[in-house]
Amino acid sequence: MLLGFKTELKVNNTQKILLAKHAGVARHAWNWGLGLTKQILDNNKNNPEALKDTASHKTIKFPTAIDLHKWLVALVKPEYPWYYEVSKCAPQYALRHLRKA
């Protein structure tokens, strides 16, 4: 016999705002990382391995989730101060899931 359980979170307004901020930061990090990885894939597709020797046509190593997070901290966080209002785990997990996808 299979049983199912429904769970409902009872959050106050402060917690609702905080959950929405975490979701927004995760979504922004995912979209930023997706755009960056698409640019890398397009660059590598347009520049095959034969052109690897020239300085202007290099293939770029596909980034790991850690690489993406380091770039996010260096490039994006200074521009968007609302990243500091939430936990660091929200963008990290978004980028981890992006890497798996």
The parent domain of residue 50 ranges over: 21-100
Query: How many structural domains comprise the chain?
Result: 1
- Residue 41 inside a domain? The answer is yes
**What confidence tens digit (pLDDT) does each residue in 7-48 have?**
999 999 999 999 999 999 999 999 999 999 999 888 888 876
Q: Is residue 84 part of a domain?
A: yes
Asked whether the predicted pLDDT for residue 74 surpasses 80, the reply is yes
In a domain, 5, yes or no: no
The stretches of the chain forming alpha helices (DSSP H) are: 13-46, 65-71, 89-100
- Decide if 15 is inside a domain: no
For 56-84, give the DSSP string: SS---PPPPHHHHHHHIIIIITTT-GGGG
* The model's pTM: 0.80
98 near 33, Cβ under 8 Å? Answer: yes
- Residue 12 domain-assigned? no
